[in-house]
């Protein structure tokens, strides 16, 4: 038996052999789709050139390749659809692929079909963030990169993925909040580093499995609100907010995650486009944080700041401004069109282009794209996508991210013996694609909430509304009738991409249309307990349901991924114990009337209430970090922790290092952070209930009120740990508190300081005070 050029089998033996060899042909056919890249052993044109020699240092190989390119060839490689260089055997390459929570076909770099009909679609990031499980985040990244490598080997994907999105969820109306790890910069930073490590791998020698990209840098969290869009928005941000909120996840992504790329955003920051800001790009990302990789624009950002923001007078000036600021790659054609003109006008030199190209080519070399079909991932293929293990991880991620917000009278979990008939009602009760949110690909398969609940009970299904817009009440009667006949009622309500999405910010926080009326009427009609399940990325004001005694339980499922329906059902019927915690504050509707989305200030001032749990002091529907369990946990300190820390100064002769009498604080940059011990906290977590469960130990720090101007922080998260505790057992979690890293605050000038005085640590209901004082 053999394969012809179309991958078809010719019969020379029995039928079993035909089938086996046909399957082998399919695999070989998918692998042959990837065109020969430079340095492939089969490519006799270039394999002997120096940039193809794997035993030569990468930086030498890069310079050798750059030296062989003409100016025009270099310029055509400054854009996402990089052009081929046939004379060197180099094929074209599409840089733009996405992998926010699974390999996606949103960008042109990946496509599904043939041997790769889909990929594992994990819960949307905001849901996974609610697990507060760093090892889970990294494991998801590892699985996604396995599938990405397999698709690359099959010729249907690239190796550069412009994920994750680590912007801060500053405003609850933001349509893209679903893509982020939430409102806390520490959580976002830890998510960034964990997911990036999973994607990029931990191979020795600076090698990459795939190249991740943290986006959108920086202060980007408005898409289209009240006539203001992201292309024209000038984010006015203080140095204080930039340093202690907006830039924190990106610094962590680069410094701790070692990400291979950062994407600059559409918006301006303080009057300058981020993709043309040398201080933000060259000086901060590459200078201070030491990025080992490339900087890419959000798609058409250079065109936007020329044609829409009118930042420069000519397109050549725009091209020069971006490259000189530190941009290495343009998503869009702008640099391919206007860079040569910028060189001819003396606005750029060829060396400026060489520097940008060196950064992108180095990443390709680290990925092994000039090594031929070699490396530890060369054997990954269709069999490594949508595996049972990957599907199980998607289900487990949903289990860990779903948050129980209300459980009156321990109404949950339901019993399959007592609740044999369940009414499943609502516009999101039998959805598929809604569960995977945006920037998703083609899922391996779906289990809807209706399908999941049907595994436990007989179901009576009514949508109640025609879609989440719920513009009429025509279906309410049938929904009420179903609730009257059932032993329990599950209402699956909320949002979808028609309400919140990229380019689509919300105007309010209430359930859309007549959804609230549907919930209330069904709750009145139901003869059994009513469980409200919410799908959404952003928070929803469901005060009505929280206060309604007829609504027994509320579950936030976020966008729970391809297995979301199974996870929801497992939690409702007690096969899984919810352990998720909210990664964002749920505000009441009247909050948004006080806060324009265009105001970037984090801190409260006058009638302005501030943003996120760190600065906002007003009423909430549910607070950051809130989430119930079917069991109960208590905390205690297993050992007596330190009650005092002495901070030594690195240079007593420096005026900047001496204790400032007005603020009673010391600059971290002038502190000898290695001279004093870390303070270990041994937190004993006891499971005092009847269910095994997972619990998140949050450690918050409340700084002393000692006169640092504009501090305004209520408390801030120091760190968190996820722990599994069986019923009746105890687990001890050790958390090391570092004064420089965890007890510092940022002053009005953007400088990090350690306030002297009493710092209060909050661990659940526990409080511990540390006196920090200078060692003179």
- 3-state secondary structure string, 545-575? HHCCCCCCEEEECCCCCCCHHHHHHHHHCCC
* Residues 212, 475: Cα–Cα separation, whole Å: 46
Architecture of domain 50-383: Alpha-Beta Barrel (3.20)
Residue owning tokens 């929801």: 568
Q: Is 96 helix (H, G, I), strand (E, B) or coil?
A: coil
Superfamily of domain 385-593: Glycoside hydrolase family 3 C-terminal domain (3.40.50.1700)
Looking at residue 23, its pLDDT comes to 36
Query: Nearest Cα to 198, choosing from 182, 216, 212?
Result: 212
Q: Per DSSP, which regions of 408-510 are E strands? A: 421-425, 458-462, 488-494
Looking at residue 663, its pLDDT comes to 58
- CB within 8 A of 5, min separation 6: which ones? none
For the stretch 638-655, pLDDT in tens is 887 777 777 666 544 344
Q: How confident is the model at residue 175 (pLDDT cuts 50, 70, 90)?
A: very high
For the stretch 518-527, pLDDT in tens is 999 999 999 9
* CA 150 to centroid of chain Cα atoms: 22
Q: How confident is the model at residue 456 (pLDDT cuts 50, 70, 90)?
A: very high
* Residues 695, 733: Cα–Cα separation, whole Å: 11
Give φ, ψ of 360 to 5 degrees: -75, -40
Range from 42-51, 93-102, 651-660 that averages highest in pLDDT: 93-102
Determine which of 115-124, 405-414, 433-442, 632-641 has the lowest per-residue pLDDT on average. Answer: 632-641
189 forms beta bridges with none
Residues labelled as active-site residues: 298
* CATH number of this structure's domain 633-774: 2.60.40.10
Helix (H) or strand (E) holding 731: strand 730-737
Q: State the DSSP string of 362-381.
A: HHHHHTTTTS-S-STTTT--
Looking at residue 37, its pLDDT comes to 63
Q: How confident is the model at residue 22 (pLDDT cuts 50, 70, 90)?
A: very low
Q: How confident is the model at residue 717 (pLDDT cuts 50, 70, 90)?
A: very high
Q: How confident is the model at residue 307 (pLDDT cuts 50, 70, 90)?
A: very high
588 forms beta bridges with none
The average pLDDT across 352-363 equals: 98
Looking at residue 655, its pLDDT comes to 41
Looking at residue 21, its pLDDT comes to 33
For the stretch 675-705, pLDDT in tens is 766 788 999 999 999 999 999 999 999 999 8
Are both 50-383 and 633-774 of the same fold?
no
* Residues 437, 442: Cα–Cα separation, whole Å: 12
The average pLDDT across 145-159 equals: 97
- What is the share, in percent, of the chain residues with pLDDT greater than 90? 82
Q: Is 543 helix (H, G, I), strand (E, B) or coil?
A: helix
Q: How confident is the model at residue 5 (pLDDT cuts 50, 70, 90)?
A: very low
Q: How confident is the model at residue 205 (pLDDT cuts 50, 70, 90)?
A: confident
> 557 versus 19: which is more confidently predicted?
557
Q: State the DSSP string of 190-251.
A: HHHHHHHHHHH---STT--SSB--EEEETT---SEETTEETTT-EE---HHHIIIIITHHHH
Asked if the model's pLDDT at residue 10 lies above 60, the reply is: no
Asked if the model's pLDDT at residue 80 lies above 90, the reply is: yes
Looking at residue 16, its pLDDT comes to 36
Enter the pTM of the model: 0.94
- What is the share, in percent, of the chain residues with pLDDT greater than 70? 92
637, 700 in Cβ contact below 8 A?
Answer: no
Asked if the model's pLDDT at residue 226 lies above 50, the reply is: yes
189, 272 in Cβ contact below 8 A?
Answer: no
Looking at residue 652, its pLDDT comes to 45
Q: Is 423 helix (H, G, I), strand (E, B) or coil?
A: strand
For the stretch 740-752, pLDDT in tens is 889 989 999 999 9
For the stretch 291-306, pLDDT in tens is 999 999 999 999 999 9
Q: How confident is the model at residue 776 (pLDDT cuts 50, 70, 90)?
A: low
What sign does the CA torsion over 293, 294, 295, 297 have?
negative
What average pLDDT does the chain have?
92
Going from N- to C-terminal start, the domains of the chain cover 50-383, 385-593, 633-774
Looking at residue 234, its pLDDT comes to 98
* Residues 152, 373: Cα–Cα separation, whole Å: 11
């Amino acid at each position: 038996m053999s394969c012809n050029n179309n991958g078809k089998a010719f019969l020379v033996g029995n039928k079993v052999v035909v089938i086996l060899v046909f399957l082998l042909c399919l695999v070989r056919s998918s692998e042959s789709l990837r065109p020969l890249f430079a340095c492939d052993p089969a490519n006799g044109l270039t394999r002997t050139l120096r940039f193809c020699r794997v035993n030569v240092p990468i930086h030498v190989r890069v310079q050798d390749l750059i030296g062989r390119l003409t100016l025009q060839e270099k310029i055509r490689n400054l854009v996402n659809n990089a052009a081929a260089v046939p004379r060197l055997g180099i094929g074209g390459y599409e840089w733009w692929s996405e992998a926010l929570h699974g390999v996606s076909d949103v960008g042109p770099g990946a496509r599904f079909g043939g041997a790769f009909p889909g990929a594992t679609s994990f819960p949307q990031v905001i849901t996974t963030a609610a697990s507060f499980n760093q090892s889970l985040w990294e494991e998801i990244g590892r699985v996604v990169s396995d599938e990405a490598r397999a698709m690359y080997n099959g010729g249907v994907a690239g190796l550069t993925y412009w994920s994750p999105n680590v912007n801060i969820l500053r405003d609850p109306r933001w349509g893209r909040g679903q893509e982020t790890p939430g409102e806390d910069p520490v959580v976002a930073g830890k998510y960034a580093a964990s997911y990036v490590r999973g994607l990029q791998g931990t191979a020795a020698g600076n090698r990459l499995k795939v190249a991740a990209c943290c986006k959108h840098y920086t202060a980007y969290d408005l898409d289209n609100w009240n006539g203001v869009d992201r292309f024209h928005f000038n984010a006015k941000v203080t140095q204080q907010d930039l340093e202690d909120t907006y830039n924190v996840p990106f610094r962590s992504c680069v410094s701790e995650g070692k990400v291979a790329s950062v994407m600059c955003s559409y918006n301006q920051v303080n009057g300058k486009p981020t993709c043309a800001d040398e201080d933000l790009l060259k000086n901060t990302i590459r200078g201070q944080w030491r990025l080992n990789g490339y900087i890419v624009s959000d798609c058409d950002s250079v065109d936007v700041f020329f044609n829409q923001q009118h930042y420069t007078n000519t397109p050549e000036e725009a091209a020069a401004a971006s490259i000189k600021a530190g941009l290495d790659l343009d998503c869009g054609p702008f640099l391919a069109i206007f860079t040569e003109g910028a060189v001819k006008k003396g606005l750029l030199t060829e060396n400026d282009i060489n520097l940008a190209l060196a950064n992108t080519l180095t990443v390709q070399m680290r990925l092994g794209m000039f090594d031929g079909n070699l490396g530890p991932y060369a054997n990954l293929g269709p069999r490594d996508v949508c595996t049972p293990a990957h599907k199980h991880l998607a289900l487990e991620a949903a289990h860990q991210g779903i948050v129980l917000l209300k459980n009156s009278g321990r109404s949950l979990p339901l019993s399959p013996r007592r609740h044999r008939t369940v009414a499943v009602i609502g516009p999101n009760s039998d959805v598929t694609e809604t569960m995977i949110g945006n920037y998703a690909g083609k899922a391996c398969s779906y289990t809807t909430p209706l399908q999941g609940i049907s595994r436990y009970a007989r179901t009576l299904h009514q949508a109640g509304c025609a879609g989440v817009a719920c513009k009429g009440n025509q279906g309410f009667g049938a929904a009420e009738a179903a609730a009257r006949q059932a032993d329990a009622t599950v209402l699956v309500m909320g949002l979808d991409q028609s309400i919140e999405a990229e380019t689509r910010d919300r105007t309010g926080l209430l359930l859309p249309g007549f959804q609230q009326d549907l919930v209330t009427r069904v709750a009145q009609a139901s003869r059994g307990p009513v469980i409200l399940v919410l799908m959404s990325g952003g928070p929803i004001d469901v005060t009505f349901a929280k206060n309604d005694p007829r609504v027994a339980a509320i579950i936030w499922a976020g966008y729970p991924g391809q297995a979301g329906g199974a996870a929801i059902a497992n939690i409702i019927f007690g096969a899984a114990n919810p352990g998720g915690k909210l990664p964002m504050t749920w505000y009441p509707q009247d909050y948004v009337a006080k806060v324009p989305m265009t105001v970037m200030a984090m801190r409260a001032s006058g009638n302005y209430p501030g943003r996120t749990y760190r600065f906002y002091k007003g009423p909430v529907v549910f607070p950051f970090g809130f989430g119930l369990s079917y069991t109960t946990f208590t905390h205690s300190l297993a050992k007596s922790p330190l009650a005092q820390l002495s901070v030594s100064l690195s240079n007593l002769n420096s005026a900047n290092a001496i204790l400032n009498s007005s603020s009673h604080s010391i600059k971290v940059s002038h502190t000898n952070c290695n001279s004093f011990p870390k303070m270990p906290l041994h937190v004993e977590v006891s499971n005092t209930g009847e269910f095994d469960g997972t619990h998140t130990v949050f450690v918050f720090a409340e700084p002393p009120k000692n006169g640092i101007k504009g501090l305004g922080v209520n408390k801030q998260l120091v760190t968190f740990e996820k722990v599994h505790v069986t019923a009746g057992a105890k687990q001890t979690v050790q958390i090391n508190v570092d004064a420089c890293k965890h007890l510092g605050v940022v002053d009005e000038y953007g400088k990090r300081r350690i306030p002297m005085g009493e710092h209060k640590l909050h661990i659940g209901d526990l409080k511990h005070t540390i006196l920090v004082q200078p060692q003179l």
